[in-house]
Structure 1
Amino acid sequence: MITMFRSCLKGVYSCRWSNRNDTKQKMPCCWFSFLSFVSILVLSWMYICVIAFNDHSNVNNEAFKALKTWVNWYRIVVILSAVLVTYCLLLLIFGFLHLAIREPLHLHWLHKVFLFLGLLMVFLNILGFSCKWQKEWQTIKLSFQATAPFLQLSAVLALTVISWLVFQSYFRAKTAANRGFIMTNFLLVCAAVHLWPVVIKSPCISPNIPPKPALVGHRGAPMLAPENTLMSFRKSLECGVVAFETDVQLSKDRQPFLMHDHGENFLLRTTDVKDKFPNRASEIHNNFTVQELRTLNAGKWFLKTDPFWSVSSLSEEEKKEAENQTVPALSELLDLAKKHNVSLIFDLKNEMKDENDFTNSDSYYTTEEIKASGISPDKVWWLPPEYRHNVSMMEPGFKQVYSNLEEMEANSGNFININYTSLSDDHISELRSINVSMNLWVVNERWLFSLLWCSGATSVTTNACHIFKNMSKPDWHLEPNAYMGIWISIDIVSLLVMLGLFFWQRRRLTGDWTAGIY
């Protein structure tokens, strides 16, 4: 059995299935170090992929703009990364087992090729990430407030497990210099890992939990229905949203309608414009009348592309309803918001400011449409900045919402709509203390929603309202004293286990409890 186990280990790691000894391979420990480095790197990249998943639709949408064809690139990257992580970690485990049973570390050349390819893949991904999606590094940085306690716990566990190999190497070292080098580096790493919580700062380590943030449906509920359709907004009502978030454009006949994409090819991603108007697919918004827009199907793309991997959760009736959605007019959404007493916040996608022509602007026609609907003015969260003063004079009852702190402070406002990476937890607490409402966008993952909940955000714009509606508390929250108790207890247990492993290795390898003390 032992012989078979050794043969399997060598077969997987070095493709040597026989028991023959081969010492021709050079620098086996260097290759094992390279394997360890690549494993840590791909594991870090997988962490980045998981955290950045909150904004993965941005990657796919940007790719669509460039290629004019929908491919779920983020899914492909995640799958390839997961395969690479699994491969590297399994290979690393086999390497550690080789060390444990003192088998030669003869890494096969094919593994070396795959490791170099994996390293190249991660390098290119990180390069593209940094060049094309640089702002997402702020999300990665923010994520450590949610994950650092768990990463530290994992690091303590991993360090405790591999300490027996470190001690084994220490007692097998032939010189005092080598033993000193091994133990000094291990103690430095050990101190860093065990004392890591000293620098961990998280809003979820606090005495109290603020009220749960209200939910704003981003283009409705786009995980459950095609974005910016009436079905999507009706689905968001089931989540108890306090506001609809949408995007407004003006048609050729100056009628406001709902559509996020703008400019050339603005209908290509979410409608069947190529089928209905094959020669006009690349035209801009003001070349289409409302009647032409209403002939387009705005739901089949959702079932075909499955942008959030959620179509399988829909019933057959829901799929049929989604399949028959059209491009809505703003008036239809206003009627829905008025009926259910829900607020409305929107972007004007094509607004171009002309100081002398407010009455011909998108803001003017949109405000006229809102007033004609009869919705209560305080249910409109006015966000577009271009004609804010004119709109305020035309309808002073709108809630003025600002997209940056400077503009809000300059206008003595008290409502800000901003990306979740733009405010620190301290800043959120400070704004909350002076009664400033903060709507943060776009929040789709539980860890991020929990973190912003602990920070004290007023509301969040989300694609995942159906996930957040049932959360009665953040995914984790600890009082500072409780966290300190857990941290110290785990560190003590880890140190005691490592101390036991040290003496066990000493006894096993030297036969003397006191050997290696001096």
Structure 2
Amino acid sequence: HVVTFVAMILLAWPVALNFFRIDNKVLQALILLGYLGSLLFLLFMPLGFYSPCIMEKGTLGPKPALIGHRGAPMLAPENTEMSFKKAVHHGAVGFETDVTISFDGVPFLMHDKTLKRTTNIASVFPGFKDINAALFPWEYLEKLNAGNWFFEEKPFFQRPAISPEEEELGRNQSIFKLSDFLKLAKQENKLILFDLNRLPWSHPYNTTWINRTLEVLQSELGNKSHLVRDREEVINVAPGFQQTSGKAVSIEELRKHNIVKLNLNYRDLCHVDIRKYLKSNITVNLWVVNEPWLFSLAWCSGVQSVTTDSVHTLGKLHQPSFLMTPKEYMTMWIVTDVVAVFFISLIFGFHSSILSWHQINLHFLK
């Protein structure tokens, strides 16, 4: 609102200049009406604004918990042991990851279908770089480097500087086995969210991939995990696991399936009434939230947790950005409008005076 009014104040100069120089009354009226119409729209535009961060004091809920998206991928190579330990260091309460299964039945962490983005498969097995990651046996997968790419490709522009020792550690990361990941999560008492990647039709575990993954889960964690995606299949295999919906379906539908958790895209903030779920004791997690302003909106909306790439940044926030009471918002709006109208009036008054001065000079010259 303030920035827009600064632009309108700057625009007032050429508008006033042309208004007083033009002799054609019709053109004058069109210029003035167009400018005043835009100005009035801006003056009253705040009446149509809504922000969850405009609230009375004392009504702000707890800060959303942070879930490390594939660990802390701005600080270390994603889905590696180092990445998840970094997430722990910066206060994440949980981890989000993606699980697939090797050709010989070893579940491991990998987001992409192939290995070429996050490993050195292109140099170790160049002829197989486009092969689905699940079609490799574990003895091949465990030999790959899963860290060098992070320092060579620099996937995040704002990656914080790290020490030479940490870089050396990062460059020597390998693909993380699910069982080792679960041991770390259990050791650090962190909750987990993950997607199960479907396997190619030719894979030996094509029909038992969920069972195989759950075997490892139950072996390492028992029923202490939160599973995302493929809900119906998991209910049949492991009814004791907590189920999470990835869609903002009706509360009645959620209750029907005993679902008390939602894992939603952050864009759902625009068209989903988050508070109705909260009132029904359904917790909400948003993904992937990286920017402080977006995290602030999630916080003000009452969201319990967010999945993020920037645990290290959001963890430092102590209150939402732009948090203000309705009275403070109204005061800011009125003061901005008054100041803008004052300066615009000065500009038009100045040009009117210049015109009058020129007319007086012309009169005396005649």
User: Structure 2 length as normaliser, TM-score?
Assistant: 0.91
For 1:351 and 1:428, the matched residues in 2 are separated by 34
Counterpart in 2 of 1:48?
A: none
Answer yes or no: is the 8 Å Cα contact 1:255–1:290 preserved in 2: yes
Partner of 1:364: 211
Query: Equivalent of 1:341, from 189, 212, 226?
Result: 189
Other structure's SS at 1:274 match = helix
1:511 positional shift: 2.1
Moved more, 203-212 or 479-488: 203-212
Contact 1:506/1:512 (<8 A) preserved: no
Contact 1:221 1:464 in 2 (8 A): yes
One-letter amino acid matched to 1:188: G
* Cα offsets for 1:439-459 (capped at 9, x unmatched): 110111111111111111111
Asked if 1:493 is matched to 2:344, the reply is no
Verify: 1:290 aligned to 2:135, yes or no: no
Q: Match of 1:254?
A: 105
**CA deviations over 1:143-200 (Å, ceiling 9, x no partner):** xxxxxxxxx2111111112212211111111122222111111111110111110111
1:267 to 110, 115, 134: 115
- The question of whether the paired residues in 2 share the 8 Å contact of 1:243 and 1:344 is answered with yes
Quote the Cα distance in structure 1 between the aligned partners of 2:61 and 2:324.
Answer: 13
- The reply to whether residue 173 of structure 1 matches residue 22 of structure 2 is yes
Contact 1:226 1:302 (8 Å CA) reproduced: yes
**SS of equivalent residue, structure 2 residue 313:** helix
Among 50, 55, 66, the residue aligned to 1:206: 55
- Following TM superposition, by how much is the alpha carbon of 1:502 offset from its aligned partner in structure 2, in angstroms? 1.7
247, 255, 268: which is aligned to 1:422?
268
Tell me: CA distance 1:491–1:175, structure 2 relative to 1, closer, same or farther (3 Å). Answer: same
Q: Secondary structure at the match of 2:77?
A: coil
The answer for the alignment partner of 2:93 in structure 1 is: 242
SS at match of 1:196: helix
1-side partners of 2:218 and 2:272: how far apart? Answer: 39
**AA at the equivalent of 2:182:** L
Matched, 1:215 2:61: no
1:158 aligns with 2:7: yes
Tell me, yes or no, if the aligned pair for 2:99 and 2:178 is still in contact at 8 Å.
yes
Q: Deviations over 1:474-494 (max 9, x none)?
A: 111111111011101111121
- Tell me how far apart the structure 2 counterparts of residues 283 and 261 of structure 1 sit (CA, whole Å): 11
What does residue range 5-404 of structure 1 map to in structure 2 within 5 Å?
152-207=1-56, 208-262=59-113, 266-311=114-159, 313-350=161-198, 360-373=207-220, 375=221, 377-378=223-224, 380-385=225-230, 386-393=232-239, 396=240, 398-404=241-247
The higher-RCO structure (CA 8 Å, 6+ apart) is: 2
Supply the distance in 2 between the matched residues of 1:442 and 1:167 (Cα, whole angstroms).
47
1:411-455 per-residue CA deviation (whole Å, 9 max, x = no partner) reads 131101111112447611111111111111011111111111111
- Which letter does structure 2 place at the counterpart of 1:369? V
- SS of aligned partner of 1:341: coil
Q: 1:203 to 1:319 in 2, by over 3 A?
A: same
User: What is the alpha-carbon distance in structure 2 between the residues aligned to residue 403 and residue 410 of structure 1?
Assistant: 16
- Contact 2:103-2:134 at 8 Å conserved across structures: yes
User: Would the aligned equivalents of 1:168 and 1:505 in 2 still touch at CA under 8 Å?
Assistant: yes
CA distance in 1, matches of 2:64, 2:100: 29
**Compared CA separation, residues 290 and 358, structure 1 to 2 (3 A):** closer
Counterpart residue type for residue 156 of structure 1 = F
Judging by fraction of residues, say which structure has more helix: 1
Change (3 A) 1:179 1:249: same
1:438 counterpart residue number: 284
Q: Is the CA contact (8 Å cut-off) linking 2:90 and 2:311 kept in structure 1?
A: yes
| Deviations 1:199-232, CA, capped at 9 Å, x for gaps | 1111111223221111111000000000000000
SS at match of 2:238: helix
C-alpha separation in 2, matches of 1:318 and 1:309 = 18
**Cα distance change of structure 1 residues 276 and 426 upon mapping to structure 2, 3 Å threshold:** closer
The Cα of 1:339 is off from its aligned counterpart by 0.6
3-state SS of paired residue (1:494) = helix
SS in 1 for 2:245: coil
Structure 1 CA distance for aligned equivalents of residues 178 and 264 of structure 2: 23
Structure 2 unpaired stretches of 5+: 361-366
Considering only aligned residues, what root-mean-square deviation do their CA atoms show, in Å?
A: 2.2
Total equivalences in the alignment: 352
Relative to 1, partners in 2 of residues 1:463 and 1:337: Cα closer, same or farther, differing over 3 Å?
same
SS in 2 for 1:429: helix
